[in-house]
């Protein structure tokens, strides 16, 4: 019975709504006639349904139409306003192209010139600033190398002193202090190898007149045959004619090596 009631309850709305097919309607009415509980339920629903049917909808107020008209007019105005802004922009854009080619071209060129000059100005400004920085940096490094070199020349180890001498090849503008130190090494260093590399270093600085002069003076001060012939080579290479006097003085020395003697004689004849 309960199951049955549930089934027919599901059809209440359709029955009230008169949407139940004829066959089902007969079975439905038979059930209602036999089941007082369902009959009561159906009656309650029918009552609500009827009340709903009688429910009146209040009249909408008269100014609804006016409000709608106003809303529509407003909306249309906002739409055309948007459209006219767009149209104006389009027109202006087209006008810009009608003035072709003079104004756009002039404008383009002006912008390009401004851009390029701004770029150059900017880059150059940076360059000079960078240059100045680099210069100070370079001079600082130079000073550092020089002081390292000078201190290395005083080192008791011969190999360290050679290292010090070799630094001078990296010093482009050797000042008087460096040159003096090198000559002191060339004339007084106890180690032949150190003196030879010093000679090399000084040869590299031969564009300084005081270096050439110093080398010529140094000829008579050398007692090692190796250095004597090496200086002879340097003088020949530099075509230093003022060295001839010093060589002649050297030839007069009694204990001069036989080989060196011949080499110096040859050098003198070549220089003259």
Partner 1 sequence: MLTDNAIMLKVKEGDLDKMGLLFQRYHRQLYGFLFHMTYKKEAAEDMVQHTFYKMLKYRNSFTGSGEFVHWMYTVARNVLKDEFKKNKRAQLHSDVDDLADILPGGVHTGDMYEKKESARALHKAMEKLSDDQRQILTMSRFQELKHQEIAEIMNMTEGAVKVRVHRAMQELKNIYTKMES
Residues that bind partner 1 (CB under 8 A): 9-10, 12-14, 41, 44-45, 47-49, 51-61, 64-65, 67-69, 71-72, 75-76, 79
Assigned token pair, 25: 């309607």
What 3-state class would DSSP assign to 8? helix
Q: Give least dist CB 124 to partner 1, A.
A: 58
Closer to partner 1 by Cβ: residue 20 or 215:
20
Picking from 252, 260, 202, the residue whose alpha carbon sits closest to that of residue 227 is 260
Cα–Cα distance for residue pair 140/120, rounded to 1 Å: 30
Q: Give least dist CB 84 to partner 1, A.
A: 15
Q: Give least dist CB 1 to partner 1, A.
A: 19
Q: Give least dist CB 89 to partner 1, A.
A: 20
Closer to partner 1 by Cβ: residue 48 or 112:
48
Assigned token pair, 81: 């306003």
Closer to partner 1 by Cβ: residue 54 or 94:
54
Closer to partner 1 by Cβ: residue 68 or 122:
68
Closer to partner 1 by Cβ: residue 50 or 108:
50
Q: Give least dist CB 27 to partner 1, A.
A: 18
Closer to partner 1 by Cβ: residue 20 or 260:
20
Q: Give least dist CB 71 to partner 1, A.
A: 6
Assigned token pair, 265: 């004689």
3-state secondary structure 93-125: HHHHHHCCCHHHHHHHHHHHHHHHHHHHHHHHH
Is residue 147 within 8 Å of 177, Cβ to Cβ?
A: no
Picking from 175, 176, 151, the residue whose alpha carbon sits closest to that of residue 163 is 151
Cα–Cα distance for residue pair 112/31, rounded to 1 Å: 96
């Amino acid at each position: 019975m309960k199951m049955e009631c549930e089934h027919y309850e599901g059809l209440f709305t359709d029955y009230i709504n008169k949407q139940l097919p004829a066959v089902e309607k007969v079975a439905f009415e038979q059930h209602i006639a036999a089941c007082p509980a369902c009959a009561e339920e159906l009656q309650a629903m029918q009552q609500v349904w009827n009340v709903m049917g009688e429910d009146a909808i209040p009249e909408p107020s008269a100014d609804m139409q006016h409000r709608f008209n106003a809303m529509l007019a407003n909306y249309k105005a906002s739409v055309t306003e948007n459209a006219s802004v767009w149209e104006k922009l389009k027109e202006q854009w087209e006008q810009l192209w009608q003035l072709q080619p003079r104004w756009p071209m002039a404008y383009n060129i002006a912008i390009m010139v401004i851009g390029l000059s701004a770029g150059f100005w900017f880059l150059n400004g940076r360059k000079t600033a960078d240059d100045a920085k680099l210069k100070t940096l370079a001079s600082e490094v130079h000073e550092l190398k020089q002081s390292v070199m000078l201190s290395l020349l005083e080192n008791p180890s011969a190999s360290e002193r050679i290292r010090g001498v070799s630094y001078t090849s990296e010093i482009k503008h050797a000042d008087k202090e460096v040159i003096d130190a090198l000559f002191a090494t060339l004339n007084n260093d106890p180690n032949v190898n150190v003196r030879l590399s010093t000679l090399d270093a000084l040869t590299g600085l031969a564009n300084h007149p005081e270096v050439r002069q110093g080398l010529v003076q140094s000829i008579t001060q050398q007692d090692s045959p190796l250095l004597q012939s090496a200086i002879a080579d340097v003088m020949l290479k530099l075509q230093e004619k003022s060295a001839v006097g010093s060589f002649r003085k050297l030839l007069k020395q009694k204990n001069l090596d036989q080989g060196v003697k011949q080499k110096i004689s040859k050098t003198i004849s070549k220089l003259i």
